[in-house]
Amino acid sequence: MFDKLHEECGIFGIYSQTKGSDVAAQTYMALYALQHRGQESCGIAVCDDGVIHYHRDLGLVPDVFDKETLDKVGMGNMAIGHVRYSTTGQKSRSNAQPLVVRHIKGAMALAHNGNLTNAMELREGLEMNGAIFHSTNDTEVISYMITKARITCGSIEEAVCKAMYEIQGAYSLVIMSPSKLIAARDPHGFRPLCMGELDGDYVFASESCALDSIGARFIRDLDPGEIVVVDKKGVRSITEHCTGPGHFCVFEFIYFARPDSVISGASVHTARMRAGSFLALEHPVQADVVIGVPDSGLDAALGFSRQSGIPYGVGFNKNRYIGRTFIQPTQRERERSVRIKLNVVDATVRDKRVVLIDDSIVRGTTTGRIVNLLREAGAKEVHVRISAPPFLHPCYFGTDIDSRDKLIANKMSIEEIGAHMGADSIGFLSVDNVTKIAEGAKCGFCIGCFSGEYPVEEPKKVQKNKFEVKISENLETAD
């Protein structure tokens, strides 16, 4: 709704030792818990005694799944699920996941979170050998790489392991063969993936909140590079690609993940509060109340309040009913749209010096409008504090910061940004402190979008229609 970065996916998988289990229902509920990671499309694939049934479509979980569609995918002993965010206005059903394909050894279903950095090169190589592609997403490339490896490998997990030498970039995967459930995380561990247990069944999910939602017990995060295989013989791990603590996307802690999730041993909620504390130390200000932009700024606002001693207040009411279908009939309404979504609680801010906490600024337009709303409601001063450093560089690992041009921090100095927004002062979290927010986390971090230093080589070829949903190549013009 607002001017935010977007994660691209959430994934889930479950393996039950009991045939005919209601694994689809578990997946359905888990996808609700992961919905914040992707709202464009979703899908569930169930494996029942070697046969895979699936349903996927554009829309939120409640749009795509009802009693009828859940019954259609049916009972089974394994299931995987996926929620996907589209980073462009265009939406395509053909990009919905899980991807279900048939290859030389049978059927395979995949759900994927992340972005490959060498997808374009791999794709061209495959096409040179006669491959055809139905979609533009990396998941189809991964399927081909596993399929190719499978021809010479003795098992699906070996094929996954072999393919991982060739695919580069960010990926967390759940893969379902007729008899196995496989979860894998790239050697840098950019995207989260954890493992749990539910009445003896194994489950995998992008975030621990999905385990909570189905009552599963959290076991541990997968290590960067780890492959976990579950089948009737039990669970085992392949650690051939495990090389170190990895580079986990710090923005998962700042914004993407749900506050009630725990990642690498650190609570997301606590990390956000700590980000607020650091902010209060780095950019102190005299003020009467600290408020956060709902929902993602609230935790940091509470942290700022506790550190600074300035009282925490409820500054806004967020309208929970405004969704994707909201119509803005006229220009007059368009300008007022922030107000419709977010109304100031006047009593909190009138005649007060206000500290306003938001978690990040991409283009800056929304924050400016919010500052203006606070002024109209009688705030005497508005001090903007951002619980992340400024975005300066693109992300190649599964979020939608794909262009330097749109980032306000590349066009203005920090002071100019504050002035542009009409703030009395502005302060961003420092790059130094951002990696310290997840206290106790047992992982390294990727902070490429802030620092420009990436843990892996930047892609040589960026697929020019990376997010194009229509098939739109015109290479054929030569013939």
Catalytic site residues? 9
Instruction: State which of positions 310-329 bind its own copies (CB under 8 A).
Output: 311-314, 316-317, 319-323, 325-327, 329
Least distance to its own copies, CB of residue 17, Å: 16
257 belongs to the binding site for its own copies (CB under 8 A): no
129 belongs to the binding site for its own copies (CB under 8 A): yes
Least distance to its own copies, CB of residue 258, Å: 6
Instruction: State which of positions 163-182 bind its own copies (CB under 8 A).
Output: 177-180
DSSP-assigned letters across all residues of 312-330? B---EEE-TT--TT----S
Sign of CA dihedral 125, 130, 136, 140: negative
Determine which residue in the list 2, 3, 17, 103 makes contact with its own copies, applying CB under 8 A. Answer: 103
Q: How far is CA 379 from CA 276, 361, 426, in A?
A: 21, 21, 16
Residue with Cβ nearer its own copies (209 or 417): 209
Residue with Cβ nearer its own copies (257 or 408): 257
Instruction: State which of positions 34-63 bind its own copies (CB under 8 A).
Output: 35-36, 49-54, 60-62
- Contact in structure between 247 and 444 (CB atoms under 8 Å): yes
Please tell me the count of residues contacting its own copies according to CB under 8 A.
109
101 belongs to the binding site for its own copies (CB under 8 A): yes
255 belongs to the binding site for its own copies (CB under 8 A): no
Nearest to 13 by CA among 142, 177, 145, 147: 177
17 belongs to the binding site for its own copies (CB under 8 A): no
Instruction: State which of positions 407-436 bind its own copies (CB under 8 A).
Output: none
- Contact in structure between 354 and 316 (CB atoms under 8 Å): no
258 belongs to the binding site for its own copies (CB under 8 A): yes
Of the ranges 33-41, 111-119, 382-390, 405-413, which one interacts with its own copies (CB under 8 A)?
Answer: 33-41
Backbone dihedral region of 225: left (phi > 0), alpha (psi from -120 to 50 degrees) or beta? Answer: left
Residue with Cβ nearer its own copies (370 or 395): 370
Instruction: State which of positions 146-165 bind its own copies (CB under 8 A).
Output: 147-148, 151, 154-156
Identity at 281, one-letter amino acid code = L
Least distance to its own copies, CB of residue 415, Å: 31
CB atoms within 10 A of CB 458: 12
CB atoms within 10 A of CB 244: 13
Q: What residues does 356 pair with on adjacent strands?
A: 291, 384
CA atoms within 13 A on the CB side of 351: 1
Instruction: State which of positions 70-89 bind its own copies (CB under 8 A).
Output: 70
- Contact in structure between 177 and 154 (CB atoms under 8 Å): no
* Token pair in block for residue 441: 């986390």
Residue with Cβ nearer its own copies (212 or 424): 212
Q: What residues does 35 pair with on adjacent strands?
A: none
Residue with Cβ nearer its own copies (108 or 361): 108
